[in-house]
Structure 1
Amino acid sequence: MELNFRDALKERILVGDGAMGTFLFKQGFPIGVPYEQYNIVKPEAVLDVHRQYVAAGAQVIQTNTYQANAVKFSRYGAEDQVEEINRAAVRLARQAAGQQAYVVGTVGSVRDGKRGNVRTLALTDALHRQIHALLSENVDGLLFETFYDLDEMKLALRIAREETNIPVICQFAAEDSGRTVDGFTLEDAFKQLLEDGADIVGFNCRTGPNGILKLIDGLAVDKLTYSVFPNAGAASFVDGKYEYSAGPDYFATMAQKFADRGAHLIGGCCGTTPQHIEAMAKALAGYTPVEPEPALKQNAVAAQQPAVVYDKWDKGRHSGPNILQKVKDRHTVIVELDPPRDLDISKFMAGAQALKDCGADAVTMADNSLAVTRMSNLALAALVQEHIGLTPLIHVACRDRNLIGTQSHLMGLDALGINHVLAVTGDPARFGDLPDSSSVYDLTSFELIRMTKQLNEGIAFSGKPLKQKADFIVGGAFNPNVKHLDKAVQRLERKIAAGADYIMTQPVYDPALIERIAEATKHLEVPIFIGIMPLANGRNAEYLHNEVPGIQLSDAVRARMAGLEGEAGRAEGVTIAKELIDCAIKHFKGIYIMTPFLHYSMAVQLTQYVHEKTLAREDV
C-alpha cells in the first residue's frame, strides 16, 4: 500500500472486510471450539475467508481474534494459547492481504456489556495480553469492536497507547439508545476517546445499516470520521441456522449514505459475506461523498431533546408514605409471606389481610427462594395492592431472568405502581425442585441495584432514554451470619454505593450479634431492617442451621427448640423471636419478620408485639 494506514484513513474511504464467524458457520464449520482457535487448528479455513474478502475488494482485513482473550478462552481451557492464536491470526491475515490491504488487529469486548462479570484486574490482564500479542506481529492498526461501555473501551485504548502509536479504531455496539451501557451519551463517549488518542470512532454489530445510520444521524456533532461495520440486518433462527435478510445491493446503497456522513472505513459484521463487501467496494469506487442536508442535523439535535412525559396514567400509585418515609418517623415492620407452591392462593391472601389488619407496614414476597418454584410474586403483589391495600415489596432475583427479562419485569412492576423491590442474587437452580433448569445470572445483585436505579433516571438497561422515569425504592440483602462481619459490611457498603435505599438482613438468632451489627453499621445512612424469623419446631431449627445458606442459629436457641413440635414449637419460636425483637428495637427502627410455612398467625403476633413495645418506649 502506497500510504501508511493513518494517512489512508484520513484521505480515503476504505472498504473493510465482513464477518468471519457467521461466514465460517455458513460454510459448514460447526461451533465446537471458538473460531479463533481455527488460526492454529484449521488455518487454511481462516486464510480462505481472508482471501475471499481481499478478492471482493476489501482494503482492510481484520484478524480472526474477536474473542481471543484469556477470560473468554478460559471457558474452553485455552487461556494459555492466547499469544499463539493472536500471533497466528496476524500472520494469516497478512498472508492473504499481501500488498492489497491493511491488516488491523481485532480486539473484542471482554465484558460483553455485563459490567460486573469480570474484575478489573482480570480485565486489564486479558486486554493487555491480547493487544501485546497483536502488536508483536506488527499490525497496521488496532480495531476495538463490539464494546458496550466507555469504561472498558477507555481501558483498552489506554493500554494500546502505552505500547504503540499506530492507528486505533474504537467501535461501540449500540442500538437506538444514543448511550453506552454505563450511561454516557455517544457524543461524550466519542469526545473522550478522541481526546485519549483514538483515530476513528464508530459502530459495529447489534444492528443493521439502517440502525447505525440512525445512530449517526442522532449525534449532535459535526465532522466526525466514522468507522461502520453493520450486521446484515436482524438475524432469524430457522431450522437450526441463523439467517440474515440484508443483501449486497442494499449494503451498496447504504455504504454511500455512510460515506456521505463521514465514514472513512465501511465494512460488515455478523451475516455479511464477500458478496456484501464486493457490492460496497463497487459502489464506493470513485464515489464522491455528498454533504448531508442541514435539516438532517437539525432533526438530530431535536432528537436529543427530552421526550414529553406522559402523565395521565397514575400507575395505581398509593398516596401514602413509602417505607423510607415511614421508617424515618417510627419503628416499621415488613413481613415476609412466601408465595404458595400451589395454585391455591386463599391462605396467602388471608395471611396478607391479617397482616394488614394488625398493622404491618408492608408485605414482602421472595422470588422462588431456595430455587423452589412458587407462584409469581409480581401477580400476588398486584393482588395484595389492589384488594387488600397493603404495600407489596417484592424480591427480584438475578437467577431467573436475563437482562431482557429483568428490565421487562421491572417495567411491568412500574406500570402496576409496585415500586418497592429487593435485589437478590438468588439460590442456584440446580439445588431447587427443577435442577435441570438454567441459572442465568446476567447481573450481580450490585448491578441489579444500579440498573434498577438507572430506570429512575429515565434510562433503560441499554442506555436508551425512556419517556418516563420510574420511582423504584431498591433494597439490598445483607447476611451478617458470617465469620468476618467487617468484610460483610464492606460488601454492604458497595451495595449502598450502587444505589441501595435500604437493607434487609438474613434472620438473626443472637442478641449479641444484633448489637455487633448495630455497632458495625452505625456509620451507614440507609435504614436497616433486622431479620427475625420465628422457628416452627425443633426440626425446623436444625434444618435452618445446617442446610440453609446464610442462616446460623446459636447453640442456646437450638437447645431451647430441641424436640419441640406443633403448638409447643411455634409458641417457643415466638417467645425467642420476641426476645430478639426486644434487642433489635433498641438499635434499629426497621424490623423484618419472616413467616415460616405460611403460619401467618406467628407473624401477626410478632407484628403486634413490635407495635406494643415501641409504643411503650415512646410513652416513657
Structure 2
Amino acid sequence: MRPDLRKRWENDVLIGDGAMGTYLYKFGFPVGISYEELNLLQPEVIGDVHRNYIKAGAELIETNSFSANFYKLSKFGLESQVEEINRAAVRIARQAAGDDVYVAGAVGSIRGGRRANVTEQELGAYYEQQIAALLSEGVDALLFETFYDLGEMRIALRAARSLSNIPAICQFAVDQIGRTLDGYKIADAFGILRGEGADVLGFNCHSGPKGIMSVMSGLGGPLDTPLSVFPNAGLADYVDGEYVYGATPDYFGECAVSFADLGARLIGGCCGTTPEHIAATAKALRGYEAAPLGQGKPLPEPREAVLVKDTGLVADGGPSRPGHPPDITQLVKERHTVIVELDPPRDLDIGKFMEGAAALKAAGVDALTLADNSLAVTRMSNMALGHLVQLKLGLRPLVHIACRDRNLIGTQSHMMGFDALGIDHVLAVTGDPARFGDLPGASSVYDTTSFEIIRMIKQLNEGVAFSGKPLKQKAKFVVGAAFNPNVKYLHKAVERLEKKIASGADYIMTQPVYDPELIVAIKRATAHLDIPIFIGIMPLASGKNAEYLHNEVPGIQLSDEVRKRMEGLSGPEGRAMGVEIAKELLDTAMEHFNGIYLMTPFMFYEMNVALTKYVHEKSKPSAAHLSRF
C-alpha cells in the first residue's frame, strides 16, 4: 500500500520520471504523429518507457496523456477517442508501476502559450473530459504541466476540483523573468493556485536546470508549500536534422541537490531527459534529508497581478550621419580589430545599455554588435539601438539579422530601413527556434536559411530587390556569417562555412571558444579562406555561469581546466578570474587572428572594457585609430 502522497511531500523528496515525447523521438518515432495514440497502437512501447524510468529510480511516473485532450487529438482525427486514450494511458502506467510507484495523470496546456481560438468555456469542458477519464482508472495525482499563463491553469485546476480532491501538481513553463505570460509574478500565481486547491507548485520544460533554478531563487527561499521541478536537459540544438540536448546526467544530478535545497519535493525531467538523467538524480538525492515544510516562507495571499511598465528613455537629437570610414574587413587587414557584443535590454530602460556602449567606445572598440532576439528571447529592436549608438556615440553598430522572425517581405523592409539609417554592417544568423524563447506561441518563420539570406542581402548591394525588381540605387552592406567551431568534426563545420562564403559572406564571427588549442586548430582549418575571422571570446562571470554554458547552451564547451578554475567563484572574484582566463585566450587568439569578437555576460560590460584595453595594449596600436569612426 502506497503512503498518502501529501504525507510523503511533508517529509521526503520524491523522484519523478523523465521525458516521454523526446525519448520516443530518440528511438525513431517521428515528430508529427500523436504519441498519445501509441497507448492504443503500441502499449508495450509506452510500458517499456515507464519501466525504464522506474528501474532508474523514479518513484512517481506520469501517464502518456500530455496532449490527450479533445482539442489536441482533433488535429489527428482522434477527438472521439479522448476517453479511450486516457484510460489506456493510466492502465499502462499502473501495470508498470505495481504497488510501490505512484502514477500521476499528465495534463498538458491546450493553449501552450498561443492565443488559440478556443474559449474559456471550451477549455473547461476539454479539461473536465480528460481529467474524468484519468480519474476513472484511479490515478494517484494529477500533474498539470507546461502551462504558460495562470488563467488557463486555473481553468484546469477548477475542472479537477469539481471532480475530485486528489493531489494536484501545477507546473509552469516560464523564463528567468519569473512571470507568467498573463503578467503574474510567480509567487503571486502560486498564492492564487494554493488558495484554489493546488498541493504542489512548480516548473517544467522551457529551460534547463539553470533557468528554473534562477526563478526558484527569486522566490526568496524555500516555501511552506512543496515545490516540483522537471527541467529540460539544457537548451535544444538542431544538429544533422534532429534535436539534441546537452545537459549530462551527472550535471542533472548535481542540480537536483540544489533544487531540493530550494524546497523541491518532487524532482524529475522534461524534454531531452532520459533514464540516465533520472538515475543520476536518484543517486544524488539518496539519503537527502529535507527540512520540514512548515519552516519555509509563506506564499502571498491570493491577489490579482498588477503589471507595471518601466519608463523608457527617449533619444534626443544628435550628430548627423557619419561618413564612410574603412569597414571592419579593411581595418582587420591592418591591425587587431575588436568587436564587442552587448545585448539589447529586455525592457524599456536603455540607460545601462547606453552607459555600457559609451564605456566600450571609450575603450576603443571598433564596432558594437547587437543580437536579434538571441535565444528567441524578446529584446528591444537592434535597429533602434544601433541607430542611437551610431547617432549619439559615433560608434559603428553591427546588427544581427535572424531568419526566424521575419518573412521575406519583413526582412527586405528591415534591410531597407538599415540602409536608410546608414547601418551597413550585419551578421546573418538562422536564429534559435521561437518555441524555446519567452513567447513559445510565436511562429518561427524561417522563410530563408542563413545561406539564402546572405545571398539576398548581397543582392541588395547590386540594387536588386528580393523579388528581382530594381531598387534605383545600391545598398552597401558588409555581411558576416556565424561559425561554430565547438564541434566533434571541425572539418565538417568548415565545409558549411565555405558554403556561407560562397553565398557572399564578407567576414566570419565564431561562437565563444575556451580552449587555446582549438584556436590554433581553427587557424589551421581555415588557413585557405580569404576572408577575416573574428574569434569569439566570452569572459566567464562565475562558476555557475561556467557550468550553465558548458552543460546547457548549444555550441559551447569548456575545458575541465577552465571549469576547475571557475568552480565556486562568484561576484567580483568570479568576474576577475573570468577576465584572466579570457586574457590567456586572447594571448593565443592574437597570435593567429587580427579579428577579436568579445561577448558581454549579463551586461558586465566592464569586463570587456578591460579586455578591449588589453588587446590594444598588447598590439600597441597608434592613438589615432581610436577615433576613426
TM-score by length of 1: 0.50
Structure-2-length-normalised TM-score? 0.49
Structure whose CA Rg is larger: 1
